[in-house]
Amino acid sequence: MNKRQSALLRIMELEFAAIELNLFLDTHPEDRCALADFEKVSQELMKAKTEFEARYGPLMNFGFGRNQGDTWRWIESPWPWEINFKGFELYGEE
Amino acid sequence: MWIYEKKLEYPVRVSSTNPRLAKVIITQYGGPDGELAASLRYLTQRYSMPTPQAKAVLTDIGTEELAHMEIVATLVYNLIRNATVEQIKAAGLDPYYVDHDKSVYFVNAEGVPWTAAYIQSKGDPIADLHENMAAEQKARATYEYLINVSDDPDVTDTLRFLRQREVVHFQRFGETLNLVHDWLSSKKVFY
């Protein structure tokens, strides 16, 4: 697994934790423990995404991810359905 | 407003071309208890939800279901993408193939197209939340049947993740129902 792949998996882990905490907080909006966890996870997630986008281009469209460089990197592959996470090789190369 | 994020919620791993497995998994894309139905049901019911928690839960679970739809589509696409016409015929997927080639379309396991009649938006929050809890249980059961017929352990891993999400969503909808009951019993209107 290369650096890009492990960085993406780390973002997926952090964002899953954020999704779970978000849904829990929707019905427990005053749970201080979950609020603290959400704040911690969301800071780590933002940091991981910023680092990823600086190297590999935007993860999100419409201005929520930064495009650094001379070209519009949003259009670059791989798109999510083009990645086989089994050994993390790219599809379309067989 | 929705923003697209260029990643899956959970990794999809596919061991090998398997149009027969794609043929049944597609029901969670466009079938009666599938992810499109789930997402659109919650996202359209949210407008008439009465409490802050209910509006948030329907918005957030409806959005997560869109991510699940993308996971199911990724499974289906990668299971049929390299299939030969012979493999497609052997899997009984040739009627689908002549209409859609290897693209991903909203049908159930028997090829019946998705219909808005699969979902309801009743306006009554108690009725709608009960429908949603039932929908999560039906989706859980469907994922269990899919796990029973899956012969690809990597695909099964993703199906297990999707099954677990139905359990969590059921829990959150149950809590939301309790909160709406509390709100209804505390509501005092004098006019």
Torsion of CA B83, B89, B90, B95, to 10 degrees: 110
Q: Which CATH class is domain B19-180?
A: mainly alpha
The pLDDT value recorded for residue A5 is 86
pLDDT averaged over every residue in chain B: 97
DSSP code per residue over chain B: ----BSS-SS-----S--HHHHHHHTHHHHSTTSHHHHHHHHHHHGGG--SHHHHHHHHHHHHHHHHHHHHHHHHHHHHHTT--HHHHHHTT-HHHHHHHTTS---B-TTSPBP-GGG----S-HHHHHHHHHHHHHHHHHHHHHHHHH---HHHHHHHHHHHHHHHHHHHHHHHHHHHHHHHHHH-----
The pLDDT value recorded for residue B13 is 94
pTM: 0.95
- Closest A-chain CA to B61: A23
Residue spans per domain, chain A: 3-82
List of chain A residues with pLDDT < 50? 92-94
The pLDDT value recorded for residue B64 is 98
What tokens appear for B62 in the block?
């409806």
Backbone angles phi, psi at B129, to 5 degrees: -70, -35
CB pair distance less than 8 Å for A26 and B56: yes
- What value does the mean pLDDT take over residues B103-108? 98
The pLDDT value recorded for residue B6 is 97
Whether residue B154 is predicted with pLDDT greater than 60 in this model: the reply is yes
CB nearest to A26's CB, from B7, B57, B82: B57
**Counting one residue from A and one from B, how many pairs have CB atoms under 8 Å apart?**
83
CB nearest to B6's CB, from A15, A27, A59: A59
Provide ipTM, 2 decimals. Answer: 0.95
CB pair distance less than 8 Å for B154 and A24: no
Quote the percentage of chain B above a pLDDT of 70. Answer: 97
The pLDDT value recorded for residue A94 is 41
CB pair distance less than 8 Å for A59 and B61: no
The pLDDT value recorded for residue A86 is 77
- What value does the mean pLDDT take over residues B123-137? 98
Query: What residues in B contact A28, CB-CB < 8 Å?
Result: 175
Q: What is the pLDDT of residues B12-55, one digit of tens each?
A: 999 999 999 999 999 999 999 999 999 999 999 999 999 999 99
CB nearest to A64's CB, from B3, B60, B64: B3
